Amino acid sequence: MTKIKVVIPANNEEQSIGLVVRDIPKDIVSEVVVVNNASTDNTVAVAREAGATVLDEPIPGYGRACLKGISYLSEPGKQPDILVFLDGDYSDYPEELSDVVAPILNDGVDMVIGSRALGKREGGSMTFPQVFGNWLATNLIRLFYRVRFTDLGPFRAIRFDKLLEINMVDKTYGWTVEMQVKAARHKLKTAEVPVNYKRRIGVSKVSGTIKGTFLAGYKIIWTIFKYL
């Protein structure tokens, strides 16, 4: 059977992380790895209670947390066939994981982006700068890399061997876009599936803050040009 594992970066998500882990379809997922990223709340205990493997990454950074998960899963015997990324704030619907991995399982695709632009979004779940930023970034990628995406969403799946091949390095907000432009450069076969999106539980760290919005926007555009 195809081995599927999940990595969830989590920074102070005690209210939501248990729900996220609980809703992941356990019949197809063999390990859920929560990377606790500099939390000062009960994220670790709640994630553990929900049955996740919990790693600790004390330095903040979305990409850094994801890299920690990858390096743990690179250990002998731990490698999955497919790795799924998901946020810890319960904005995504973890039960849609089966839809997100389906193109890899059935159609020989290497990487799947769960697109919130193609799915249903609850009012207020994404800010205007976020919607606009994703539109701009995906259009720049289409223009310069000739690959069509509609979102830089956090819910995504990739074959683990391809993930290691593209050699991810971004330690912060450029993580999602780096994966997409590198997938284009390495000519991975990519696809999108619609995913739904709801308002997060708990406190926003990126798009709900002015600092996060600017830093993320800047880093995303910079990353698109960096790999040209």
Ligand X SMILES: Nc1nc2c(ncn2[C@@H]2O[C@H](COP(=O)(O)OP(=O)(O)OP(=O)(O)O)[C@@H](O)[C@H]2O)c(=O)[nH]1
Residue given tokens 């919005």 in the structure block: 213
Nearer to ligand X, 60 or 194 (CB): 60
Nearer to Mg ion, 89 or 151 (CB): 89
Tokens of residue 29, six digits:
């997922």
Interface residue with ligand X among 29, 32, 83, 91 (CB under 6 A) is: 91
Nearer to Mg ion, 64 or 162 (CB): 64
Q: What is the DSSP string of 1-70?
A: ---EEEEEEESS-TTTHHHHHHHS-TTTEEEEEEEEES--SSHHHHHHHTT-EEEEE-S--HHHHHHHHH
Interface residue with ligand X among 65, 104, 141, 193 (CB under 6 A) is: 65
Orientation angle between helical segments 210-226 and 128-145, nearest 10 degrees: 0
Half-sphere exposure of 70 (CA within 13 A, CB side): 24
Is 206 a residue that touches ligand X (CB under 6 A)? yes
Is 134 a residue that touches ligand X (CB under 6 A)? no
Which residues, numbered 198-217, are part of the site for Mg ion (CB under 5 A)?
A: 200
Interface residue with ligand X among 182, 200, 220, 223 (CB under 6 A) is: 200
Nearer to ligand X, 94 or 103 (CB): 94
Q: Interface residues with Mg ion (CB under 5 A)?
A: 87, 89, 91, 200
